[in-house]
A and B are shown apart, each in its own frame.
Chain A
Amino acid sequence: MPTHKIAAVGEEDIVLGFKALGIETFPVTDGDTTVKLLEQLINSQEYGIIFVSESMAEKVEGLMAEYGALPLPSVVYIPGTQGGQGFAMARIRRIIERAVGADILSK
């Protein structure tokens, strides 16, 4: 079984903690560089999981749709310094809605 690395992308404050755990961190400040960086990380195929700060979620949403069909890597939103803003849940909800044709989580 091949081993993969874990990456964390986001504001410096957020990814700092991950660094202590031996996760490779990539501090970013704005959305455009995040998109470029994320694309590189995905294409490198070295990473199994990529954590992305939720504050960048809006920008990378397009990228997520593009690479969503690949089994690896798994891109996961993590809450930013302001706590969870519900982007991650909204994303899952959207995926479910597309699959089932109805919003089943709101029940």
Chain B
Amino acid sequence: MEIRVNPTRMELLRLKKRLKVAVRGHKLLKDKFDELMKNFMQLVNESRRLRQEVESALTDSMQGFMMARAVMSREALEGAIAFPKVKAEITASVKNVMSIQVPAFQMVEPEYKGGIYPYGFAQTSGELDQAIRKLSDSLKSLIELAEVEKTVELLAAEIERTRRRVNALEYVMIPQLQEKIKFIVMKLDENERGNLTRLMKIKDIVRSAENS
């Protein structure tokens, strides 16, 4: 690549200052990246664990519902759960993980007055009760999963950005600056040598002129 810089001392000083900043920035970003990765790995493992847990619980519960649907009439089933007793709500606050805004969900604990079942037991089957209980039990994990997965997603985006910056600095900015600095130093040295030989030459000429 052609280097386009003025081989002057001013420019050299400027470039050296920039290189210093770049190196420092690189170090900082690298540290950030390492820390992000550490957090990220933890979260990934956590999300994997939760995901497996939730999936098996939900599949279980779904099968329960299928069973309930099989033994109950459609109208009865829908009627039974048409008006839920509880209202699932969460409070979402924003947590700060390494200057990334991630959500933190907190389940608003519903008041379970007289159980969660929004129906009498006379017309419904036991399978439905069980399915709802299972689902209700896994709701907490589900909410946790929602939080963790979102955090993983947001962290991943941040990691990608940081990685790009680190790489850009490491493989483009810093080498280019070093190259430019080297170029200027060489050019200045070359000028210096040129000057020196010129002086020597002139001195020779002057001396021979004096002698003759």
Contact = CB atoms under 8 A, between A and B. Distances in A.
Nearest to A78: B58
A3 B59 contact: no
Given A14-B62, A74-B149, A88-B51, A3 B90 contact: yes
Interface of A is mostly: mixed
Contact of A22 (B86, B101, B149): B86
A79 B142 contact: no
Contacts of A81: 62, 66
Interface residues of B, number: 62
Interface residues of A, number: 42
A71 B157 CA distance: 12
Interface in B113-151: 116-118, 131-132, 135-136, 139, 142-143, 145-147, 149-150
Nearest to B62: A81
B153 A68 contact: yes
Contacts of A100: 37, 40, 159, 163
A79 to B, nearest CB: 5
Contacts of A19: 81-82, 84
Contact of A1 (B48, B92, B101, B143): B92
Interface of B: 37, 40-41, 44, 47-48, 51, 54-55, 58-59, 61-62, 65-66, 69, 77-78, 81-82, 84-94, 101-103, 105-106, 108, 110, 116-118, 131-132, 135-136, 139, 142-143, 145-147, 149-150, 152-157, 159-160, 163
Interface of A: 1-6, 13-14, 16-23, 48-49, 51, 68-69, 71-72, 74, 76, 78-81, 83-84, 88-89, 92, 95-96, 98-101, 104-105
